[in-house]
Structure 1
Amino acid sequence: MRSENWRPSASIKVLRKRALVLQKIRLFFAQRDVLEVDTPILSHASVTDEHLHSFSTQFKHPFSPQTSILYLQTSPEFAMKRLLSAGSGPIYQIGKSFRNEEAGRFHNPEFTMLEWYRPGFTHLQLMTEIDELMQLVLDCDLAERVTYQDIFKQHLGCCPLTASLSDIKTLANQHGYDELTANENNKDTLLMLLFSQHVEPQIGQVRPCFVMDFPASQAALAKISSTNPLVAERFELYFKGIELANGFHELTDGPEQLKRFEQDNTKRQNMGLDIMPIDSNFIAAINFGLPACSGVALGVDRLLMLALHCSEIDQVIAFENSRA
């Protein structure tokens, strides 16, 4: 039997609409004088986050017997921040990112990311601009804004900021996760599980919803709040059951960022994961002077699912992974 896998997973009609949405996004930034940039997909270093898994490959140099390990980017963040430190001003990028061990209704291991950075913006100001883009692309209502603490307490009856690991394990067991909690001693892993399964499906159903002020332990590359050391100046955007974006009031402290990367690698080692090489060029760029800024990474394919009323990510990309 002849295989039909040569056919695209998205219809040509949808791909034409996809192109129009991308044009609209580019016009949105052109009108705001935000520069479009293009950074490498391959890098000598990768993310240290224990929840992200990078693809790697080997580069065989034609004039050297040595081979180098290169990583496919999980996000263009580090390279774009190097441009910010070099004086680029506001920038955005629409490009491919790659994450291993991710596939499903909302995931493809190769996907399109929209990432942009605004020097001089707080994360609250950036949220307003994201809201404007959402209304343009999706013709939706103004987004609501809630704190992680309040929405977690509302749906799970527990304060995620002050609860102990034991408290969170008890809560998880009450929701049937006994097998998972037995050997899990990372509070944030359990918080993420509970949040994804019992909070995310409840929010942003009628209009988009920004969840702000994530626990400081989940800060990643965000500043810790100057008014509440228990939270980070980080937000995520949800709409109709889909996580669309993750944004930060960006950390500009090089030594603190290096410390966080090293802590990540300690966690990775304790979990039996590979220790990842830390991006020394990125740290050097921060130390040189990353301007005060806010940035966000937004999943374009997921945005297109909403814009084009599709239920699966496969329906908005030309060739999903099994057809690639």
Structure 2
Amino acid sequence: MTVPWWHPDRFARRLPLLQKRARIVDGLRAWFAAGGFLEVDTPALQVSPGLEPHLIAFATELVRPEGERLTRYLHTSPEFTMKKLLVAGLPRIFQMGHVFRNGERAGRHSPEFTMLEWYRAHDGYRTLMADCEAVVRRAAEIAGAKTLRWQGHEADPFQPFEVLTVPEAFRRHCGIDLLATAPDPAAPDLALLAAAAAPLGIRPHEGDSWEDLFFRIMLDRIEPHLGMGRPTFLADYPISMAALARPKPEDPRLAERFELYACGVELANAFGELTDPATQRARFEADMELKQRLYGERYPIDEDFLDALAHGMPPSAGSALGLDRLVMLAVHADEIDDVLWAPVQ
């Protein structure tokens, strides 16, 4: 018989890790407060859960007192509501809240997990890199760890973090000129990417898009190298893959987006935020067309969010970091359930 997670003997083995988690949470709250950030707490129940095409949301039903029944979703990120708070006038905000993603359960995935998300009005995504470095180092310091560690891999958070662009990563690890496969940046060419990937033995499956093949190459040939020895910022994604990010002024083929990796694990995703409502609507609609094609469903667009953008969101940058994953690496846990107070059952 499997011993339940709450059995005192089994729980006692995880308790030292959970105590470190609690201290890390306290320490990060103090770091944000010292930096002039206001902690906010937004509702998980939303009209739109977030519109990333490959995320599956939990749907539920809201019953109004008069009997009207409305479909609502548990958010996959607090992003839309937090940006509305930027429009409302808050300049620096952060949140440690639970988010929900269906169909995700593995050594580094839980269907419910804690997201650390923060936004800076009138600032850029490069500032968020400095934030991420400070947050990761603070977590390691509190845990008493000299390195981050997971599945035999290590990354030293006290070294300068590597900054590697997505095109550079494809050249370094695959010998592929990624931008050459997207002569029209808004509509990359699958055939060109397939030809470039053929020498690697990676071929598109029937029905694949350019983005599908991009991710297959990423997962197979690039991600395993990221954040080894020291954390890595993978920056400047093709513009077609950044639905919520603004174009880079110096190269509009690319978007102001980065992901942070350590020990091959993605920890954070950050954007220089898109603020144009018409462009944002067009990207949302394109993403939901893709979701319909791939998964046979779509989620509603949050019209209130687009109204907020039209009212005037300041130039901003925002980052979302998986707190449980960061703790997992800082305390050298084997899997994410080791640092959750209780697993989803």
2:174, 2:200 within 8 Å by CA — same for their partners in 1? no
What amino acid is the match of 2:22? A
Residues 92/262 of structure 1: CA separation in 2 closer, same or farther (3 Å cut): same
Residues 5/302 of structure 1: CA separation in 2 closer, same or farther (3 Å cut): closer
Runs of 4+ displaced beyond 6 Å: none
Residues in 1 aligned to 2:178 and 2:2: alpha-carbon distance in whole angstroms: 54
Q: Which has the higher contact order (CA 8 A, sep 6+)?
A: 1
Q: Does 2:14 align with 1:11?
A: yes
Q: CA deviation at 1:153?
A: 0.9
Q: Does 2:28 align with 1:25?
A: yes
Q: Does 2:92 align with 1:74?
A: no
The unaligned stretches of length 5 or more in structure 1 are none
Q: CA deviation at 1:288?
A: 0.7
The sequence identity of aligned pairs, in percent, is: 39
TM-score, structure 2 as length reference: 0.88
What amino acid is the match of 1:320? P
Match of 1:155 in 2: 173
Q: CA deviation at 1:172?
A: 4.8
1:135, 1:142 within 8 Å by CA — same for their partners in 2? no
SS at match of 2:253: coil
Q: CA deviation at 1:222?
A: 0.3
SS at match of 1:252: coil
Deviation track 1:177-209 (CA, whole Å, cap 9, x = no partner) reads: 55xx23133111211121122111112111111
Q: CA deviation at 1:130?
A: 1.5
Q: Does 2:312 align with 1:289?
A: yes
Residues in 2 aligned to 1:171 and 1:102: alpha-carbon distance in whole angstroms: 31
Match of 1:101 in 2: 103
What amino acid is the match of 1:147? T
- Structural mapping, 1:190-229, within 5 Å: 190-229=213-252
1:147, 1:212 within 8 Å by CA — same for their partners in 2? yes
The unaligned stretches of length 5 or more in structure 2 are 142-156, 182-188
2:5, 2:342 within 8 Å by CA — same for their partners in 1? no
Residues in 1 aligned to 2:208 and 2:106: alpha-carbon distance in whole angstroms: 27
Residues in 1 aligned to 2:318 and 2:224: alpha-carbon distance in whole angstroms: 25
Match of 1:321 in 2: 344
Q: How many residues align?
A: 319
TM-score, structure 1 as length reference: 0.93
Deviation track 1:254-299 (CA, whole Å, cap 9, x = no partner) reads: 1110111111122222224212100011111111111111000000
Residues 3/143 of structure 1: CA separation in 2 closer, same or farther (3 Å cut): closer
Residues in 1 aligned to 2:48 and 2:164: alpha-carbon distance in whole angstroms: 35
CA RMSD of aligned residues (A): 1.7
